[in-house]
Chain A
Amino acid sequence: MDFLDYSFMQRALLSGFAIGIVCPLMGMFLVLRRLSMIGDALAHVSMAGIATGLILGLNPTITALISTMTASLLIDLLRKTYSKFAEIAIAIIMAGGLGIGIILITIGGSNTANVMSYLFGSIIAISPFDLFIILIISLIILTFMIVFYNKLFFIAFDEEAARLNGIPVNFINILFMLLTAMTVAVSIKVTGILLISALMTIPVATSIQIARSFKQTSFFSILFALLSVFFGLISSFYFNWPPGGTIIVISLLILIVVLFVKKLSRF
């Protein structure tokens, strides 16, 4: 357990613990509402935010937060314009964010030179201030999820019926989009831009394979995400690989094991 002697590793593990809870929780509702592409789109948009932060000398986590939250509101607006093709809205925002991001990174020159650590995540790049933001934002997301869990379940299962039962569906949907944006922004440092949405979806996909109820789906999603993050960060430490990669590979290994065990138990 010598990795615990390093303060950067303590910060990485604490951040990982926080996002290992909020990513699968938010991801579960995205997956069930067939909106998992939104996580990916927002992650690409965050690139523009991060590049802006690096160029202007502002904290990139904060500028990423601003860019993803703005983009999430834009997606919501566009989805109403293209109500029959909601995924177009997602594709448009993703392309826009990526385009601006690439230009800004090129303009930024030496300021944006360490952009790799944002693409794939980094265990040494999490400052005490980053950790502070990650924990605060995660706490906000978790509070929202606890307060709205039952309503989100009803909306995900049957939006029309939820509306008729007096649930403020539009309000909750916008709030949910903003919190998805926050989840993406705080996860960047750990998982990297390219693999955030994987941490929001793979543990959920694994969980659905074995869960016998919605409650179990929530529980297993978080469990698998936490296992992936924890062992991913540790292997990242020992092998010096980017944590984004190790976390996702471990979450895929868990999926394979679960599928295999499920198959065996059928006989």
Chain B
Amino acid sequence: MEKSAIYINNISFAYPSQKPIINNVTLNIQKKQFVGIFGPNGAGKSTLIKLILGLLKPSRGKILINGQALENFQDWSKIGYISQKAASFNSSFPATVEEVIAAPLLSKSFLPKITGNIQKKIERALSLVDLLSYKKSLIGNLSGGQQQRVFLARTLITEPEILILDEPFVGIDQTSIKLIFNTLKELNDRGTTIIMITHDLRWLKEEIDLLVCVEKGSIHLHCPVNFKNHVMYHNH
């Protein structure tokens, strides 16, 4: 069997002085899968993602990324992440689209010089999200949907094998949603594992391999039945 992209074994988590929000969750995400994470507000979807990314530490259980224990995993450039609040960043931040996208690569070096090689990568990432002509624009002058596409391009510049998106479609225009979704589909076809939290199941119907439904308390939520495969787990 091929190694899992992400393997979560029986993890639990609670925020300080709060009831556990993640309870004995086990989940296996195979390489190249397109995974949807679905569930009501406050169910713990973002928390689950942050546990996978190591931004939060589970109180018990084990997480493996590419077969490696999370604590020992080093190659974070292989993991792309767009956080839920990405689109609500300080929009008066004086940086160009190009500067934002180059950040993951430039932050490895000293001078803020965009070399020919980096320039090529920027242009490739920007054309994937159809924003090539906005390279020199201030990021604050773009629409919400365009800004979300910039964040996608920023994660794509390191060519991640696993892409994790937390509600990327909230508050953005249909054109951008369609564009982002098509880009994700294309990446998935070429072998990228995609994990996406969304409320908007319309977009996922055809593409999805696995739907994870996160439940809140006693409210019962059923995954839509016409999905190929789904996993459910209960909180509290």
A contact residues vs B (CB 8 Å cutoff)? 32, 34, 146-147, 149-151, 153-154, 156-158, 160-167, 207-208, 211-217
Contact = CB atoms under 8 A, between A and B. Distances in A.
Given A153-B103, A213-B96, A161 B138 contact: no
B86, B108, B112, B138: residue with the most chain A Cβ atoms closer than 10 Å: B112
Interface string B63-102: 0000000000010110101010010011011111001100
Nearest to B109: A150
A161 B83 contact: yes
A156 B90 CA distance: 10
B154 interface: yes
B109 A161 contact: no
B55 interface: yes
17 contacts: A146-B110, A147-B110, A149-B112, A150-B108, A154-B103, A157-B95, A160-B55, A160-B83, A161-B81, A164-B55, A164-B76, A165-B76, A165-B104, A165-B107, A166-B74, A214-B99, A217-B94
A212 B104 contact: no
B97 to A, nearest CB: 10
Given A158-B86, A166-B76, A166-B77, A153 B92 contact: no
B107 A167 contact: yes
Contacts of B94: 32, 207-208, 211, 213-214, 216-217
Nearest to A165: B104
B136 A158 contact: no
Interface residues on B, range: 20 to 34
Given A157-B100, A165-B77, A217-B95, 12 more contacts: A32-B90, A32-B94, A150-B111, A150-B112, A153-B107, A154-B103, A154-B104, A156-B93, A161-B104, A165-B76, A165-B107, A207-B94
Main secondary structure of the interface of A (DSSP, over half): helix
A215 B106 CA distance: 13
B55 A163 contact: yes
A215 B76 contact: no
A157 B89 contact: yes
B25 interface: no
B27 interface: no
A143 B106 CA distance: 17
A153 B100 CA distance: 9
Interface in B93-133: 93-96, 99-100, 103-104, 106-112
